[in-house]
Chains A and B, each alone.
Chain A
Amino acid sequence: MPKEKRRFSRSPSRRKRSRSRSPKKHNSKKCESNQFEETESQERKRATKINQEFSFEDYKKDLDTLFFTDRDVIKKSTPQYEEFWKFFNKYQLMRKKQGINSWIPPKTQPCNKLGIPTVYHRSFMINFGLNLPPPDKLLSRIPSVDYSERKSARPRLTREQLMEFHQIILLYLEFLQREKMVKLKKLRESQQKLPIAQFKDEIVKAVFEKQVIIIAGDTGCGKSTQVPQYLLQAGFSRIACTQPRRIACIALSKRVAYETLNEFGSTVGYQIRFEKSKTQATRIVFVTEGLVLRQISTDPTLSDYDIIVLDEVHERHLAGDFLLGVMKCLVQSRKDLKLILMSATINIGLFQQYFQGQAPVIQVPGRLFPIQVQYKPIAAEERVTKTGKMNPSPYLRILQLIDGKYKIDERGDLLIFLSGMNEITTVEEVVREYAQQNQRWIVLPLHSTLSVAEQDKVFDYPPEGVRKCIIATNIAETSITLDGVRFVVDSGKVKEMSHDPISKLQRLQEFWISRASAEQRKGRAGRTGPGVCFRLYSEKEYGDFAAYATPEIQRVPLDSMILQMISMGLPDARLFPFIEPPSGDAVENSITTLKEKGALTIDEKLTTIGKCLAGLPVDITLGKMLLMGSIFGQVEAVLALAAALSVQTPFTNRAYRDSDCESARKDLDSDHGDPLTLLNAYKAWLEIKATNQGHTSRKWCKKRGLEEQRFYEMTKLRQQFRHILSDAGLLPGQDSKQNTSSSQRAVRHGQLQHLRSLKRDFIRSGQRKRKVLKLGEDIEDMDDDDDEENGEQMEMPTGANIDIKDVEFRLQHDQSTVRSLLRGVTSAATSHQDLMLLKLILASGLSPQVAMADEFNNYKSTSDQLFHTRAKPFTALHPMGVFANHPEALQLLEHDTIQVPGFVTKLPVSSKHQVLMYVTLLETNKLYLMNAFRMPAAQTLLLFSQSIDTNGDFARIVCDSWLELQFVDAAAAQSLLLRACQLRYRWNDLLMLRLDPNRPLREKDVQKLEQKMKRMQKDLHYDLIAFTQTQTLYTIKRLLAADLKIIYRGCALEDAGIPDEKNPSEINPFWPEFLAVTHPRKGGIQMADFLVYGCLEEPDFTQDYLSTPWACPICELNFYLTGLGRLRHQVQCQKTKELMEEGQGEQAETSVSQTGYFCPDCRSTLELTGIDLLRHQKKHQQEKSKVEED
């Protein structure tokens, strides 16, 4: 007895557990063993009888309960379990062949002087065993079915069989161990082979000795993956590695986790905007540059990190340059912080200089195979075809050259770098035709507007004897790494987005690339073997290229960056130590823009709005939209819209080219504009997702030429925007917890389980495996392909057939949350009021991005309709926009224009003028308005213009010094402007209340405030809508530069001014707190930040408002006053009236006017003060009503 115990009970804990594992409880050991002896002898007999048919497979169930429980090494229903049975069967086969019968180790062993058995047995080579109870006990665990029933069936497993099975498990585990060892050793070897491995010690030494070091190494040298590991091994535990791209963060964190054997742990993590895998245990974190910048604004010394690695600094992105400057300051103040710059081997001197030569440079050679360069310049006459298009034949010639010169069995693909999509399409057509003839090429375009699935094809393998011909933009230069490329064709051209800070214009222009890019492109041919690079330009041209590309900071808007800078406590962007500073103009322009958007004060201090905008990790325009959305009840729709405008458009080229797609997506078009169309599409997609047929959304998208990925991105972004707003305290009273019944929760629980298992299956199936492409597959219709896939999916949703995006979506959103997402966008898409409000919010963010139609537009979709913005005349509607296809929505209809007698003008008079607002202005081969929508002209301009100039009676109003409104009725104009100002005032008031940093703390006060704001918001919403629906007749005209010179009265001549200028600071009906002053340049009176009254020059005869009497609607007296005078009078009159009605009339002694008043009732002229006058009038009214009653 003690002996048995010794053998099988290795530790007390173990003993306890093995007992509890046993399904049967045994009270006495004795009983147990007796029982066993009995059964054993019976079994042996039975076993010998039918020994020949014995197969372990028949006992799978029993074996599962013995060997494959959750506590065992191999758990049931894991890949290892499946693998084991395969191994087992192979092993059995092999054993039969070799004739080995039993595998049970011998009972006793004589040992020699080394203490090892002299007779060999395989089992002695295994250094472990399974932690299992003794065989007898194990046997007893087999569920004991009633023996009488089992007699006819198979016999019980014997002890020997059990031990044999156990041995095979050991062999399998040993096999697994060997397999893992090979895998691991291979990994370590490949790491060792990386060029950077040679520099490990040098790097670690330098890091300890210096505060800043620079590592320069070309693609493939392994710096991005290895350096963080070296630091970890050197003992650093708070390492941050920055990357310009989000995708690189995820990919690198995965790779480094794998290499540090932490694939399933959290030692290595990533953190990108809205997504992180970082935990307490994380030691290396890959972050985007933008995110580190955000972290600095909350933690100015980056106290979370000991060492920061800035990777790819040579790419010179805006955020990277900014971060570099910030880090340069930070290493001064934090002497314990280490900084490593990693760059390609270009322009290292620049970085060295930046740190005053204090940072040592460790230069690592790349791992490139030799590449032969051939210059094949295109003759001038061959560059373009007769029609002026790009000539694709030089590219075709290279393909022919390759086919002629290189044997087909020498593998290697071709990568062609072109500047843009049009060029790709042109070359693709010709090459495809050629490929169809000779069957040696598979042609694959690669650019960012392709769907993800189409992009992924470039990673597939071509069949034997066929090469891939990938025609790409510069996306393949750094962002996407393609292996197996042997030939590169470099057009030497790139299309780059540049930004004009003055006209706020994005320009997509074609440039020669830099020498650095040319080398990068060349390098793509030598990743997997020696290669050839054909340059379609001359060596001389190459020499003339700029050495490096223009850094981003010199060609993009700096608004967000400067705002962020100021909010970080770096008050003057002009003094920031940029590695290469942006132009002074660009900085000044951005500061002006920030002031315009209300983010900065005149003296460049952060405003409340600015502070809030700086905290929102989005573009200023979008940020402002979100902010505005948050103060109205429409926040859900605004979130969705902002998200939709932040991701790439889901409409692919196919949505417009393919007639089936075009008709299928037609109902998504909104004649209000592109942003609303986007919202419609998103709404329609959510509608599909909200049904039980959610998984069919992929097909739905395909049919309409939509890229579904974008909708998932929108949903995610929308969620993230919501978080941002709620973090900023801008989402009050949102109770996210919904009451659900227990049965609903149970259903959801079941769903979640199912979805999680689907996700596991997907991950197990190895995500997307590379496959072998088929010839002609590149031109196959994607539709058929997909229908097949969906069919399969219905039947057996396993592994690779799972639409993982759909599964993930459903994991995050149950039916009710999808419905609430849907509800958020539905009202805006259905109710006119909500739609209008949404457009107003959008406009408030985008203002002053307004465009006005050219007067000669014919509003036919067959010809280009032209529009003018303030800075750029003659812009066109983007062909993929709604208005390009439905220009009639912008047309002023004949019956909406009115001839007004006495109102002389060449322009159409109407109350229905419209302007376009747009998100971006893009220049490619033409100037395009992107994401445009239409708005009522006068109302929009009065609500959002940065500057509004009026004449003396408000009949003429010039907005933002370029659009002139001429109203038929001055009184109507005055009332419209006054209303606009009041709305602006209230809007601002509400916004300030919402953003007020000194919010009350007490629950009761908060509620009170919330209620107050809700009321204000509701009233404002209602009044805004009513305002936009106001019908007022006017003309609208674009002012030209020449007009601008003469429109202002100026204040040089005293007499020329209007009477009100004599006392400008009297009552201000437009902006009560604003101290009105004479405008120094324009003349007139500045009544608000945006409003100058009476500064427009006017011919004398229009000043007749001073010579005709005006009757105050309140006191009904007649006066000879200017527009402002009338307004001021009214305000005063109203005040007096209110005071009087409150019974406090006695206290209000101010006289309104000393002008005589002719009372129509008593037919006499009276000299009375305002209050007395009102009393007088009231008396008459009372008399009248009495008479009527009688």
Chain B
Amino acid sequence: MESIDPVKQEPIDCDSEIGGLSPVEIVKPNEEKKPEQIEEGGQFQCALCGWSERYHGHGTSLPFARGIVFNEDAYAMRDPFVPYGQNLYFFLGAPCSGCTRLVCANCSLFYFKRFCRECALQNVLHFPAEVQKKIHELETNKSQ
């Protein structure tokens, strides 16, 4: 059996895979590529808004939320609002596919890949109309 590194998969075919999983290229700045991160994590900080929280793991799959597979190098913590051992998680953010900066879920959006607010705005015209609307929403949310 050949083992496949999800990180290297090309985002062309999302065929009938259940879950609409669309494997994407995961950008991990200055870090060795590991398919699974099991360590207890560290401090997550958004490069745009500065929001900082502790994360318990990052990667496409998390030891504490086995039921989930991320399509990016997601930074997440155990769901802080439910007792342990519930498989629930809280997603904090991920690196932007453009500028590779770590950004939080509120300062970025996901459309097939993670885009930080700034990268998304720069390339806003390349997105479908529905997504463009959301990109502008990001901008208005920020000013709030």
Known interface pairs A73-B68, A120-B128; A183-B18 also in contact (CB < 8 Å): no
Q: Smallest Cβ distance from A190 to chain B, in angstroms?
A: 15
Q: Is the CB of B6 within 8 A of A10?
A: yes
- Tell whether, in the assembled complex, residue B91 and residue A114 are in contact, meaning their CB atoms are under 8 Å apart: no
- Taken together as a complex, chains A and B put the C-alpha atoms of A138 and B16 apart, in Å, by 13
With a CB–CB cut-off of 8 A, which chain A residues contact B126? Answer: 112-114, 116
Chain B min CB distance to A70 (Å): 8
B94 lies within 8 A of A127 (CB): yes
The answer on a CB contact under 8 Å between B83 and A264 is yes
Contact B69 A129 (CB under 8 A): yes
Query: Which single member of B9, B106, B128, B134 contacts A119 (CB below 8 Å)?
Result: B128
Q: What are the residues of chain A within 8 A of B54 when measuring CB–CB?
A: 261
Establish whether residues A125 and B15, one from each chain, have CB atoms under 8 Å apart when the complex forms.
Answer: no
Is the pair B66, A177 in contact by a Cβ cutoff of 8 Å?
no
Q: Chain B residues with Cβ under 8 A from A163's Cβ?
A: 16, 18
**Chain A proximity of B50: nearest CB distance (Å):** 11
Candidates B3, B20, B87; contact of A105 at CB < 8 Å: B20
Closest beta carbon of chain A to B11's beta carbon, Å: 6
With contacts A5-B1, A131-B67 known, is A185 near B106, CB below 8 A?
Answer: yes
Contact of B111 among A11, A124, A167 (CB under 8 A): A124
Counting chain B residues whose Cβ lies within 8 A of the other chain, the interface size class is: 35 or more
Q: Is the CB of B22 within 8 A of A124?
A: yes
A1029 beta carbon closer than 8 Å to chain B: no
Let me know if B129 and A80 touch, CB within 8 A.
no
Q: Is A108 an interface residue (CB 8 A)?
A: yes
Q: Determine whether the beta carbon of B1 is less than 8 Å from that of A105.
A: no
- B residues within 8 A CB of A2? 2
| Residues from chain B with Cβ under 8 Å of A265 in the complex | 84
Nearest chain B CB to A929 CB, angstrom units:
51
Given known pairs A261-B77, A263-B81, the reply for A127 and B67 (CB within 8 Å) is: no
Please pick, from A15, A115, A183, the residue contacting B81 in the complex, using a CB distance under 8 A. A183
> Is A127's CB under 8 angstroms from B72's CB?
yes
Docked complex Cα distance between A106 and B22 (Å): 11
Q: A5-B1, A162-B18 are in contact. Are A73 and B128 (CB under 8 A)?
A: no
Q: A130-B19, A180-B79 are in contact. Are A10 and B61 (CB under 8 A)?
A: yes
Instruction: List A105-145 residues whose CB lies under 8 Å from chain B.
Output: 105-109, 111-120, 123-132, 134-135, 138
A656 to B47, CA, bound (A): 68
Q: How far is the CB of A260 from chain B (nearest CB, A)?
A: 8
Q: Is A720 interfacial (CB-CB < 8 Å)?
A: no
Is there a chain B Cβ closer than 8 Å to A170's Cβ?
Answer: yes
B2 contacts which chain A residues (CB < 8 A)?
A: 2, 5-6
CA distance A130 to B36 in the complex (A): 16
B83 to chain A, nearest CB (A): 5
* B65 and chain A: residue at smallest CB distance: A73
Give Cα distance in the complex from A162 to B25, angstroms: 27
Contact call B15/A108, Cβ cutoff below 8 A = yes
A-B contact count (CB 8 A): 176
C-alpha gap A108/B14 in the complex (Å): 6
A71 within 8 A of B: yes
Give the complex CA separation of A939 and B15 in angstroms: 97
Residue A72 is within 8 A (CB to CB) of chain B in the complex: yes
Complex Cα distance, B68 from A74, in Å, reads 10
Contacts A115-B11, A131-B61, A181-B106 given; does A261 touch B80 at CB 8 Å: yes
**Using Cβ atoms and an 8 Å threshold, which residues of chain A touch B13?**
108-109
Interface-centre pick from B22, B89, B114 (highest chain A CB count, 10 A): B22
Assembly CA distance A170 to B17 (angstroms): 14
Report Cα–Cα, A131/B67, bound state, in Å. Answer: 5
Q: Is the CB of A166 within 8 A of B18?
A: yes
Chain A 1-37 interface 0/1 with B at a Cβ cutoff of 8 Å (1 = within): 0100111111110110000000000000000000000
Q: Which residue of B lies closest to A2 (CB)?
A: B2
For A234, the chain B residues whose CB sits under 8 A away are none
- Give the contacting residue for B67; candidates A71, A111, A180; CB below 8 A: A71
Known contacts A11-B35, A78-B86, A183-B81; A107/B123 CB under 8 A = no
Tell me the complex Cα distance, A183–B22, Å. Answer: 29
- Chain B residues with Cβ below 8 Å from A6 are 2, 4, 9
Q: Is the CB of A130 within 8 A of B67?
A: yes
Chain B nearest CB from A184 CB (Å) reads 7
Return the chain A residue nearest B1 by Cβ.
Answer: A5
Q: Tell whether A982 is near chain B: CB-to-CB under 8 Å.
A: no
A73 close to B87 (CB less than 8 A):
yes
Instruction: Determine if B19 and A129 form an interchain contact, defined as CB atoms under 8 angstroms apart.
Output: yes
Q: Identify the closest chain A residue to B131 (Cβ).
A: A120
Which residues of B have CB within 8 Å of A183?
81
Q: A411 in the interface, Cβ–Cβ < 8 Å?
A: no
Do B68 and A128 have beta carbons less than 8 Å apart?
Answer: yes
Least Cβ–Cβ distance between A6 and chain B, in angstroms: 5
Whether B110 contacts A10 by the Cβ 8 Å rule is no
Q: Closest Cβ of chain A: how far from B143's Cβ, in Å? A: 16
Which B residues, 1 to 50, have Cβ-Cβ distances below 8 Å to chain A? Answer: 1-4, 6, 9, 11-22, 24-25, 35-36
Separation of A263 and B94 alpha carbons in the complex (Å): 25
In chain B, residues 103-144, which have Cβ atoms closer than 8 Å to a Cβ of chain A? 105-106, 109-114, 123, 126-131, 134
Q: Which of A263-292 contact B (CB under 8 A)?
A: 263-265
Chain B CB within 8 A of A262 CB: yes
User: CA separation between A116 and B19, bound complex, in Å?
Assistant: 18
In the complex, what distance in Å separates the CA atom of A146 from the CA atom of B110?
45
Give the residue of A120, A129, A138 whose beta carbon is less than 8 angstroms from that of B20. Answer: A129
Cβ 8 A contact of A123, one of B11, B20, B70, B127:
B20
- Give Cα A113 to B25, complex, Å: 14
- CB-CB < 8 A to A117: which residues of B? 112, 128
Known contacts A6-B4, A180-B79, A261-B77; is-contact A111 B12 (Cβ 8 Å): yes
B70 x A128 contact (CB < 8 A): yes
Distance A173 CA – B88 CA, assembled complex (angstroms): 9
Distance of B97 from chain A, by nearest CB (Å): 8
Q: What distance in Å separates the Cβ of A1039 from its nearest Cβ neighbour in chain B? A: 68
Of B18, B77, B81, B111, the residue contacting A132 (CB under 8 A) is: B18
With A2-B2, A10-B60, A134-B18 as contacts: A184 and B90 at CB distance below 8 Å: yes
B residues near A115, Cβ cutoff 8 Å: 11, 24-25, 97, 112-113
Q: CB within 8 Å of B: which of A885-942?
A: none
* B96 at the binding interface (Cβ < 8 Å): no
The 0/1 profile, CB within 8 Å of B marked 1, for residues 307-332 of chain A is 00000000000000000000000000
| Interface membership of A75, Cβ < 8 A | yes
- A109 to B111 alpha-carbon distance, docked (Å): 13
Residues of chain A within 8 A of B3, CB atoms compared: 11-12
Asked if residues B20 and A170 are in contact (CB atoms below 8 Å), the reply is: yes
Q: Are B88 and A80 in contact (CB under 8 A)?
A: yes
A389 at the interface (CB under 8 A from B): no
Residue on B nearest A67 in the bound complex, by CB: B67
Task: Give chain B residues whose Cβ lies under 8 Å from the Cβ of A73.
Answer: 65, 67-68, 87-89
Taking the closest CB of chain A, its distance from the CB of B58, in whole angstroms, is: 13
Q: A11-B36, A128-B70 are in contact. Are A116 and B113 (CB under 8 A)?
A: yes
- A233 to nearest B CB, angstroms? 9
Q: How long is the Cα–Cα vector from A891 to B115 in the complex, in angstroms? A: 92
Least CB distance, A163 to chain B, in whole angstroms: 6
> What residue of chain B has the Cβ atom nearest to residue A183's Cβ?
B81
B3 to chain A, nearest CB (A): 6
The reply on A188 being an interface residue by CB < 8 A is yes
A166 to chain B, nearest CB (A): 6
Compute how far the CA of A658 lies from the CA of B58 in the bound complex, rounded to whole angstroms: 65
Additional A-B contact list (15), CB under 8 Å, known A6-B2, A127-B74, A170-B20:
A73-B67, A73-B89, A107-B15, A115-B24, A116-B112, A120-B128, A120-B130, A124-B22, A129-B17, A130-B68, A134-B18, A173-B68, A188-B51, A261-B53, A264-B82
22 residue pairs of the A-B complex, CB under 8 angstroms, read A9-B4, A71-B66, A71-B67, A71-B87, A75-B87, A105-B20, A108-B14, A115-B11, A116-B113, A116-B126, A120-B130, A125-B109, A128-B68, A128-B71, A128-B91, A130-B19, A163-B16, A170-B19, A170-B20, A177-B105, A181-B105, A263-B81
- Shortest beta-carbon contacts, A-B, top 4: A129-B19, A261-B80, A73-B67, A120-B128
